[in-house]
Chains A and B, each alone.
Chain A
Amino acid sequence: EAGVAQSPRYKIIEKRQSVAFWCNPISGHATLYWYQQILGQGPKLLIQFQNNGVVDDSQLPKDRFSAERLKGVDSTLKIQPAKLEDSAVYLCASSLRRGNTEAFFGQGTRLTVV
């Protein structure tokens, strides 16, 4: 079974530039999550999708971050414009459904903003 795929693995941008991350969840998984992991901290949930609808985006900085999952499969997370404090690993995860099922994580995209 293929895991959660993310790209790119690494990205370096200058502040005020924009960047996008892509995630392909495990086939058949209805629920998709984006987490932000700043160096030395645990991951923080940014947004949760159920199919192509947003379930929770209360911790997403909506002035600069956006995410979509148009066809209920792949998802993109965008930052525009980036700030230095956005430097982090962005993790995508998916689960079969909401509720007490296991979430599977991708390897993440490491973003460095200079």
Chain B
Amino acid sequence: AQSVTQPDIHITVSEGASLELRCNYSYGATPYLFWYVQSPGQGLQLLLKYFSGDTLVQGIKGFEAEFKRSQSSFNLRKPSVHWSDAAEYFCAVAPNNAGNMLTFGGGTRLMVKP
């Protein structure tokens, strides 16, 4: 069975600083990989996804993520954080034959200092 670990429960960055959120997964083959964002009282919104091909994936809101097979990682990055990026971020994996049966990590709460 697959699993996802997000080692950082909380992260605080200053507005304008760069951001990297870590995600490690466990799965027998190459899974489908996702990053979702959840703002207070809102549903989950997909930021980006990796199915195959180029290991650097571009998403919405200026986010990108890099799949590293050797490290079983799929870290999320943004070069310059905005105050509106404060939210909870979830990494998720799905078997590559059932792309929507998601297993989520525990989430990382991002706080942005002015």
Query: B-contacting residues of A (Cβ < 8 Å)?
Result: 3-4, 31, 33, 35, 40-45, 48, 56, 91, 93, 95, 98-103, 105-108
Residues of B in contact with A, size category? 20 to 34
Inter-chain contacts of A41 with B (CB < 8 A):
106-107
**A-B CB proximity, top 4 nearest:** A42-B104, A100-B99, A105-B43, A105-B44
Q: Which of B42, B90, B100 contacts A103 (CB under 8 A)?
A: B100
For the A-B complex, the count of residue pairs with Cβ-Cβ distances under 8 Å equals 59
| Residues of A contacting B: mostly | loop
| Selected A-B contacts with CB under 8 Å, 8 pairs | A31-B100, A35-B102, A42-B92, A56-B101, A91-B43, A93-B100, A99-B99, A100-B51
Check B98 for interface membership: any CB of A closer than 8 A.
yes
Residue of A nearest to B105 (CB): A42
Check B103 for interface membership: any CB of A closer than 8 A.
yes
